[in-house]
Amino acid sequence: MSAPNAPSSSSVPESVSEANTATLTSALAAASISSSPDTSEPKELDKKENVELEEGEIREDDEEDAEEEEDDGKVKTVFDSKDKFNVKHPLYASWTLFFDSPQSKLLPKTPSSTPATPAGAHGGWMDDIRRVVTFDSVEEFWGLYNNIVPPSQLPGKANYYLFKDGIVPAWEDPQNKNGGKWSIQVPKEKSKSQIDTMWLYTMLAAIGETFETPVNGSTEAPPPVNEQSDIVTGVICSSRPNFYRISIWTRSAPETSLPPTDPLMARMIAIGKHFKSSVLGYEPDAKLAVSSLSTEIFFESHVDSEKKGNKKRIVA
């Protein structure tokens, strides 16, 4: 699998920069990525920046740029101009990225980073999870993706949560409380080079809503579940000291005793199989190695994941 040709965007919301610089400083330092201004800017540019302008005066280049933009009035996508596109490609839904790490727990909360939930709701679970940004277009997604630290560079205990806007990454959210999750866990050492692509492709499948589409080649729309046409509420990437985990959260969870022909069970199995083969690139029939650090791709209801002992699971 090769990563798509991702355009970059220079207009990243302030909250993204804040999350990067404040919460991921140690990860950036470890990866020798400097967050200080780039001093290799061409000299000429520096000179221009320092020229003082009279009130109302426009720098010559800015004037030319403005004219250029006004003049043609044509539709420019990000593929025509990575900085000056004027048309965005909307997603089916808005998505919000949340983040937490040991460092983020120490930071004072700001309105832009605090989830829109009262403190103490969800048993305090959401109190340390920071909302990074909400986006609703392909371009904003890439702008965000190109400016955040990839999972392979996160500290030992950190999580990215990408959820449909209005849903928080907690079992207690009304959209999650009857649901569950498909998960895979992979050993850190062996998977460092793959985890970023695994997470990128999982996010793309989520925002592209491909988990909602049947994967058997049928073009029929998936059957509605309790009149709710979409079933995926969010995706999570967790970095732990010895492993990574990627999860897909769903708003419904079938009883494990249901036959594969049951519409909800069929739909859930289709999501797991799509995740396994189309998103993560495993052979559909591959038996994945299970160890203390790695798991098969399995589904578990949130109610079951809270339980100790034997849990009822569906395996993809």
Q: Which residues bind ligand MGP (CB under 6 A)?
A: 122-123, 125, 170-172, 238, 240
The nearest distance, CB 238 to ligand MGP, in angstroms, is: 5
The residue (of 170 and 232) whose beta carbon lies closer to ligand MGP is 170
- The CB-nearest residue to ligand MGP is 125
The residue (of 88 and 240) whose beta carbon lies closer to ligand MGP is 240
Per the structure block, which two tokens stand in for 196? 């970023």
How many Å apart are CA 209 and CA 228, to the nearest integer? 14
The residue (of 101 and 238) whose beta carbon lies closer to ligand MGP is 238
CA 7 to chain centre: 17
The nearest distance, CB 154 to ligand MGP, in angstroms, is: 13
The residue (of 56 and 124) whose beta carbon lies closer to ligand MGP is 124
The residue (of 240 and 312) whose beta carbon lies closer to ligand MGP is 240
The nearest distance, CB 252 to ligand MGP, in angstroms, is: 16
The nearest distance, CB 301 to ligand MGP, in angstroms, is: 13
The nearest distance, CB 223 to ligand MGP, in angstroms, is: 28
